[in-house]
Structure 1
């Protein structure tokens, strides 16, 4: 696990490509005034691996942690990040407050899968990701926004919503020509997906910008502007 520079001050640490592990990548916008971490990792142990990769790359520790959306593989590592302000969309804050009240444990996961078999892949991945349920803390954002927000380092957050998650947020770093898409254009999670659900290419099309050279999704390879346009053309 390591951080690689995308462009300018944006670095990405890719998740595990095995789809059964449901491990999202994270990004860091490095800044001496305080870096911005995009997503927290899928668990406390994953967050610690990300922290080790940060140190190995010589990157500054984050001051802000931004959630691209509330799904577990993006936020369950938050409790392992000390001294950060957690920023996220208001809709995600409400959902995470409910998630925080669930009795997360192996017996609870098993009971939920027996109630709804479609939860099986996601809940098996959670069981694999968490080393100790005693250390898992689901944390809602401590600072919320509704439409857009610019952090003091010039990082811009923009709510885009969509079918994958109602709180989906993209993160734009104008000086580096990078946009971090999270999972915003993906179809709904597997347990909510129908055969008609497809990636939301129209959303990506609306986000294409000649001033943005790089498009970073959480579970997909980084695309240049030219590659993104080619992908939309099919």
Structure 2
């Protein structure tokens, strides 16, 4: 059984061992909608099998939050009409031209086009990928799109962010639940994992305007409004302390002088993320 977070909203939890993200299911009176397609045909099949055992309306659509492999490799298996931001489709059209066998993956890591973490997780989730078939979304939107499932509405908005510029959120106003995908996570495709403070502030302003009780994140357990914003407010505050500093040591000194305490392990990670972002400018 999928886990229920609201009357008409369910999710399949993330699984870190093979980097499976959380998948969503929104159930209306007329039809249901899936959020993201999984990181493999097996992941998609597991999700569909669980959904088929539930007393819900048929799944007719799937929304893709962004282009990264772990959210799109199961699209062919999901087998429904898919919706995404227009930039997500452009990225998937390119991914369709690539080969996914071990040698091709290894070469892209060597060339800097792929990162080792994603390659290793692909191999762990799908030992054989020679015949992996990808597909592009059927329907795209530019800024926002709204779908009535019958008594339940899904609002999609392109919010961008450093993790993936094409990222979109899915908001269910009747349930006050938002699926964030991976949009609040760091940039990890260009060197050290990093945040840019201004980019993060712009992203979080887009998210905060919605009335939300629960957030479903791609690779963490769902968070209440208070839980998530306690984390994000701390992240922003650390970013403001770091400012434009490009030296890790000086950034830590700034934190110590401002807070009058030693940074925790998490705070050190935040400091490192913002320093790395400043170094990339």
TM-score, length basis structure 1: 0.89
Is 1:87 paired with 2:110?
A: no
Would the alpha carbon gap of residues 110 and 232 (structure 1) be closer, same or farther in structure 2, given more than 3 Å must change?
closer
Stretches of structure 1 lacking an aligned partner (at least 5 in a row): none
Is 1:77 paired with 2:70?
A: no
Q: Once superposed, which parts of structure 1, at least 4 consecutive aligned residues long, lie more than 4 Å away?
A: 198-201
Return the alpha-carbon distance in structure 2 between the equivalents of residues 70 and 232 of structure 1. Answer: 24
Q: CA deviation at 1:33?
A: 1.4
Give the 5 Å matches for 1:1-234.
2-18=1-17, 21-82=18-79, 84-116=80-112, 119-130=115-126, 132-133=128-129, 135-153=131-149, 154-189=153-188, 191-194=189-192, 196-197=194-195, 202=201, 203-209=203-209, 211-234=211-234
TM-score, length basis structure 2: 0.75
Return the alpha-carbon distance in structure 2 between the equivalents of residues 128 and 208 of structure 1. Answer: 36
Range 70-79 or range 6-15, more displaced: 6-15
Matched positions, count: 229
Return the alpha-carbon distance in structure 1 between the equivalents of residues 233 and 98 of structure 2. Answer: 43
What is the CA RMSD across the aligned residues, in angstroms?
A: 2.2
Return the alpha-carbon distance in structure 2 between the equivalents of residues 196 and 222 of structure 1. Answer: 23
Return the alpha-carbon distance in structure 1 between the equivalents of residues 137 and 114 of structure 2. Answer: 28
Asked whether the equivalents of residues 170 and 180 of structure 2 are also in contact (C-alpha less than 8 Å), the reply is yes
Asked whether the equivalents of residues 78 and 137 of structure 1 are also in contact (C-alpha less than 8 Å), the reply is no
- 2:253 is matched with which residue? none
Q: CA deviation at 1:224?
A: 1.0
Q: CA deviation at 1:139?
A: 1.3
Q: CA deviation at 1:124?
A: 1.4
Asked whether the equivalents of residues 108 and 114 of structure 2 are also in contact (C-alpha less than 8 Å), the reply is no
Would the alpha carbon gap of residues 133 and 32 (structure 1) be closer, same or farther in structure 2, given more than 3 Å must change?
farther
What's the CA shift string for 1:62-84, capped at 9, x where partnerless?
211100001000000001012x1
Would the alpha carbon gap of residues 117 and 172 (structure 1) be closer, same or farther in structure 2, given more than 3 Å must change?
closer
Return the alpha-carbon distance in structure 2 between the equivalents of residues 101 and 196 of structure 1. Answer: 29
Would the alpha carbon gap of residues 206 and 95 (structure 1) be closer, same or farther in structure 2, given more than 3 Å must change?
closer
Asked whether the equivalents of residues 54 and 60 of structure 1 are also in contact (C-alpha less than 8 Å), the reply is no
Q: CA deviation at 1:121?
A: 1.6
Q: CA deviation at 1:151?
A: 1.3
Return the alpha-carbon distance in structure 2 between the equivalents of residues 86 and 233 of structure 1. Answer: 34
Stretches of structure 2 lacking an aligned partner (at least 5 in a row): 235-281
Q: CA deviation at 1:166?
A: 1.3
Would the alpha carbon gap of residues 183 and 195 (structure 1) be closer, same or farther in structure 2, given more than 3 Å must change?
closer
Would the alpha carbon gap of residues 131 and 60 (structure 1) be closer, same or farther in structure 2, given more than 3 Å must change?
farther
Bigger CA radius of gyration: 2
Q: CA deviation at 1:101?
A: 0.5
Q: Secondary structure at the match of 2:211?
A: coil
Q: Secondary structure at the match of 1:175?
A: coil
